Structure 1
Amino acid sequence: MSYGLRDLDGVRVELCDECGFDDRGLGPLPAAFAEVYASLQQLERHPDAGRRPEEETWSGSEYAEHCVDVADQILAICDRAAGRPESASVVSLSQAAAATDDLMGALSATQWEAVTDGWPFEVRVRGALIHLLHDLEHHVLDVRRGYAKLALADGVEVVTSRR
């Protein structure tokens, strides 16, 4: 897997060959975040959310907790870079969704381009938020794969052709 930031034609982009994330084709960030948070919340309610598909693979609930933690950290990094007061920690996906939307709605053009302190190399607020989006979208895929593994292990019949 090749995951992360790449400089292509003088532009820094985030690409992932595992989940297919490519920020060059992103539409408006608020819509993308609304969609990914809705997907995570739906997956968190899945009947198998508390089950691990394999011993070393997180359950859907564990992925949801991780996504909340990552959102909380990245939002705090963005608040600092933008010179905004630190907001309250988020403890749920719905709070993370609301806090992400609030942050994006409050940023000026200058604040979107402010340099963060969260990485050992230069990452602007926009890039930090794109990385958060990638992380969330990647984990939607991880959770879906886990639920599919659980279904197969439970003996759910898989249809392989259309009639």
Structure 2
Amino acid sequence: MSEWAAITPEDRDWTFVIDDGCAECGFVPQRADATGDRLRATVPVWREALSRPDATRRPAPTVWSPTEYACHVRDTCRIFRGRLALMLDEDDPVFPNWDQDATAVEDDYFHQSPARVAGELAAQAKATAAAFDAITPAQWDRPGRRSNGSVFTVGRFAVYLLHDVDHHVYDVTRPATPS
């Protein structure tokens, strides 16, 4: 495993991808009601990435390894499923803060087992997919918001989740660029 180095915390507001997509990873916003199927479709890609011999190797000292990205996606599925439940159970809830960078350090993503993470990610993705599958047509417009004021509907929240997952699939599957 390559040596651990601190990753610069992410401070970009990625909500623009809900409407504009992402030129970096090629994400194109699509129907929110396909969220469950699209999320489940990423599980085999993650399993393959985590079975590679380099799954714990960082491509650069301050770029996450496939295992670290998978830990993040696993936790993102869990957090988003909880936030989805809030949006369905409460009127316009404010989501509790989640510092994803602090979580990566506190939970030691760097040293986690790729095989264990693959199973955990699959379970979290499938549970989150099922939660989105259960949404009724009337629920797609229910609101919720982050503490920074970003407002979501369940439908826009689903697109935001899919970008996060798809972007990190891109991170672990894109061809290596020559140094």
Q: What TM-score does the superposition give when structure 2 sets the normalisation length?
A: 0.67
Look up the match of 1:55: 61
By how many angstroms is 1:3 displaced?
Answer: 5.0
Q: Structure 1 residues 27 and 108 mapped into 2: Cα distance closer, same or farther (>3 Å)? A: closer
CA contact (8 A) 2:36 2:130 kept: no
If you compute each CA radius of gyration, which structure gives the higher value, 1 or 2? 1
Q: Quick check: which one's strand share is greater?
A: 1
Look up the match of 2:139: 111
Look up the match of 1:160: none
Look up the match of 2:109: none
Q: Structure 1 residues 25 and 17 mapped into 2: Cα distance closer, same or farther (>3 Å)? A: farther
Aligned: 1:126 with 2:155: yes
Comparing 20-29 with 73-82, greater Cα deviation is found at 20-29
Tell me how large the CA RMSD over aligned residues is: 2.8
Consecutive unaligned residues in structure 2, runs of 5 or more: 1-11, 91-118
Distance 2:124 2:171 in 1: 19
Look up the match of 2:50: 44
Runs of 4+ with deviation above 2 angstroms: 1-6, 24-31
Cα displacement string for residues 104-130 of structure 1 (whole angstroms, at most 9, x for unaligned residues): 222112222211233622201121121
Distance 1:3 1:50 in 2: 26
Consecutive unaligned residues in structure 1, runs of 5 or more: 7-11, 85-90, 154-163
Aligned residues: 139
Q: Structure 1 residues 113 and 27 mapped into 2: Cα distance closer, same or farther (>3 Å)? A: closer
CA contact (8 A) 1:3 1:17 kept: no
Match of 1:137 among 148, 152, 166: 166
By how many angstroms is 1:57 displaced?
Answer: 0.6
Which structure has more relative contact order (CA 8 Å, sep 6+)? It is: 2
